[in-house]
Each structure stands twice: as structure tokens, then as C-alpha cells.
Amino acid sequence: MYPKIALFDVDSVDIDRFFVRPLELDSEVSVIILDEPSEHIKYLNSGDLNKHPVVCSAWFSIDQFSQILTDHKVSLLLINAHRIIDLMVVLAARRCGIQISYIQHGMYIPFMKRSPFFFLNQALKTSRYLYYSTQVAADIKSVGMLLHLIGIHVFGVSRSKLAEHPQLFPDQGLVYSERWLDWHLKHYKFKSVKMHIMGTNDFRQMELTLPMSSQYISYCYQTLVEDGRISESNMKSFYISLKKWSDLYTMRVIVKTHPRADKKLLSYLDDLGFELHCNEKTIPNTDIVVGHYSTLLSFWGLNGKKVIAISLPGHEIDASISSWAYVTDSLPILSIIKEINIKKCTEWFGSSITVEEMRDRLLINKNNCK
């Protein structure tokens, strides 16, 4: 008998990309919980399982999360991050005696620094997350945890104090590789979690287009502006330099867009003369790819393409990319671009297990009601 599953996330697109499609979920899903109101509406309009119960949890207390899980008779919770809001729903699941499974959703860095303007521009969301932090601190009876959560997510302090509270962690998890398992132990402090290797699961849903002309170069779009990681002016400066560089070599740039990309920025790229590739399931098949540190760069890498990872101001390229890609702080002379190290790329992002194995290790194929 299958468990009744709750899927939790902030972004609607990630519900289908990292849970529903790679795990082949449908009737097992009892409820989908989205914390961002606008994302809740998006999923109701276009989500794969939008006929299932879909709940918006903005401003929920832990008690309210628990009630939703109880009302839908949930026996297994799936999460794909370890943010403040994830701690809320994890604590709620603990109260209900529900198993918690975690699945890696991309390339992580130890600290995602955001500009002060991001917190001001997202004042309502900032207030909501401060409220969630107080809820977590109150539930584990630790005033210091409130300051610690702020320190982790605003200033980048170590997560070591979280490890003192095993109830804040999932029971089991799937990560891309042994490299990422070590990363989760070191940075996320997942020492109490039963960990498994799965490969880069969402790459199963993607395929290269037919080979494109050698005049094309791909650019892998990242939501750095949207996530408050870099200013719009700095990002546009890079786009202008990319345009000049491509013109120098009489090359055309095709942009692999992101589902959360700002439409105004995509329009800006279009005005520069770049082509936009918006199909989520196909990847432009070019010999050379330019990007920064998106997980998707490894898809091209695993397929033997030359990947140029450009560091931006305040954005060093993590070892998960720099160990195999061609890393530089400026667009290079085409003739000196090196082949990537596919072996290293595979160590971080390659190999995979079957859907059934993934489901087994996340406890989806078993009834885990306690």
C-alpha cells in the first residue's frame, strides 16, 4: 500500500520538475503545499497535478501545517530544500509522526548572499520568514535559534547549531553524487539523515535539440537578478559584453531561459539580438556554452560540450563547476577554450538510479504511517 504523500515547496515549477515527473507521482499525492501565494495560483492554473488538493501556506503556524497534514492523512512528506520554511513543515510533520524525505534540487553553494535591496523589495516575504523563524525557535524552545537562523540566511554563519536539533532534519534523502553527499554533511549538517545517491534526476526529462550550426553559442540564463544575488545594472553590463564578444566572432547567442526569468530581462536580451529558447525539456545543442554556475551547465558538460563559466563580481564559481569547466572572469579568446573534464563533471553530476530505486529510497513505495 502506497503512503499518502504531501509535496512541499515555494516555487510551483519545482513541484513538477523535482517531484512529480522524476518520481512518476500521481495518485499517491494527497496534498501539494506551496508557501508563495503567486506560485500557488500558478500551480492551480498549470501544474501537472492541479486537480489534486493544492494549499497555500503563507503565514501558517506550525499548528496549521500539522492540521493540513492530518486532514489529508499524510504519511510521507517530500521536501527539496532546508530553508527556514522547510524547517516549519518538518516540525509539523514530526508532530504528526510523519516520515520526511528530502531530494536535492540543484547545485548548492554554502551561502546565497542577497543584496540589502532584495530584503527591502521583498519586505512582506522578509516579514513572513522572520515570523517563521520565531515559530521554529519557539517550537524547539531556543531563543538563540531565532538569531541563528537570521545569521545563517542573512550573514552566512555556519549551520552547526542546527545539528543540535535532529528534529529539524529529514529522515532520509537523495543527492546527486558522493561529492554532494559530502557537501551535505559538511555544509547542511545532514549527519542524522540516511543518505542515498541518485544522480541528477531532472536531467532525465531533458534532451538536446538537433545539432545547431557552429555559428551558435548557448548562454545558460540564471535568475541572479530575480533572486537578489546581483544588481540588474551589473547583469545587463555582462549581457552587453556577451553581445560584443559574440559579434566579434560573428557568432549568434541562443539563450536557454529559466522558468522564473523576469520577462523584462528576457525582452532586454531579445532586444540585444539574442535568440530565446524557452522549451523546458530541450537544451540547445551547441558546441560551446557560456554560463556562470547553474546546475544545467553540467548537462552540457556530461554531453561533452565546452562550458565557459564566467565569474561575476561577488560570485566565485563553486568547485562543483570549477573542477571541470573552463573558468574565467572575462569572455575568452575562442581558440584558447579548453575541453572540459568529463570525469570530474560525472563525479559531481553523473550516473543515475532507476525511478523505482529512487522511490524505494524515499520510502514512496512503502506505507510508512507510524
Q: Report the Cα 219 to chain-centroid distance in Å.
A: 19
**Which among 320, 295, 94, 74 has a CA at the least distance from the CA of 192?**
94
* Residue 84 CB neighbour total at 10 angstroms: 19
pLDDT, residue 84, reads 95
- Paired strand residues for 195: 173
Q: Dihedral sign, CA of 304, 107, 41, 28?
A: positive
pLDDT, residue 366, reads 67
Three-state SS letters, 349-367: HCCECCHHHHHHHCCCCCC
Q: pLDDT category, 112, cuts 50, 70, 90? A: low
Q: pLDDT category, 125, cuts 50, 70, 90? A: confident
pLDDT, residue 367, reads 60
Q: pLDDT category, 89, cuts 50, 70, 90? A: very high
- Paired strand residues for 352: 199
Angstrom CA distances, 97 to 3, 34, 57, 79, 336, stand at 13, 21, 20, 16, 57
Q: Looking at residues 74-86, what average pLDDT do you find? A: 96
Mean pLDDT, the chain, whole residue set: 93
**Which among 358, 14, 319 has a CA at the least distance from the CA of 182?**
319
pLDDT, residue 154, reads 83
**pLDDT tens-digit readout, 8-58:** 999 999 999 999 999 999 999 999 999 999 999 999 999 999 999 999 999
d(CA 173, CA 195): 5
User: Does the pLDDT value for residue 229 go beyond 90?
Assistant: no
Q: pLDDT category, 369, cuts 50, 70, 90? A: very low
**pLDDT tens-digit readout, 161-186:** 999 999 999 999 999 999 999 999 99
Number of H helices, E strands in the chain: 14, 15
pLDDT, residue 278, reads 95
109-113, 166-170, 242-246: least confident range = 109-113
Question: 3-state DSSP call for residue 190?
Answer: coil
> Helices in 140-257 by DSSP H: which ranges?
143-150, 178-183, 232-248
Kindly list the domain boundaries of the chain, sorted by start residue: 5-199+351-361, 206-349
79, HSE (Cβ side, Cα atoms, 13 Å): 24
Domains 5-199+351-361 and 206-349 share a fold: yes
pLDDT, residue 352, reads 83
Given the candidates 3.20.20, 3.40.50, 2.60.40, 3.30.70, the CATH classification of the domain at 206-349 is 3.40.50
The side-by-side arrangement of strands in the sheet containing 306-310 is 275-277, 252-256, 216-220, 288-291, 306-310, 326-328
pTM for the predicted model, two decimal places: 0.89
Q: pLDDT category, 370, cuts 50, 70, 90? A: very low
Given the candidates 1.10.3470, 3.40.50, 3.30.420, 2.60.40, the CATH classification of the domain at 5-199+351-361 is 3.40.50
**pLDDT tens-digit readout, 184-217:** 999 999 999 999 999 998 888 899 999 999 999 9
d(CA 320, CA 336): 22
Q: Which residues contact 147 (CB under 8 A, 6 or more apart)?
A: none
Range 321-358 burial, b when 16+ CB lie within 10 A, else e: bebbbbbeeebeeeeeeeebeeebbbbbbbebeebeeb
Angstrom CA distances, 370 to 1, 97, 194, 361, stand at 14, 6, 18, 17
User: Does the pLDDT value for residue 150 go beyond 70?
Assistant: yes
Side chain identity at 44, as an amino acid letter? L
**pLDDT tens-digit readout, 274-319:** 999 999 889 999 999 999 999 999 999 999 999 999 999 888 898 9
| Percent over 70 (pLDDT), the chain | 96
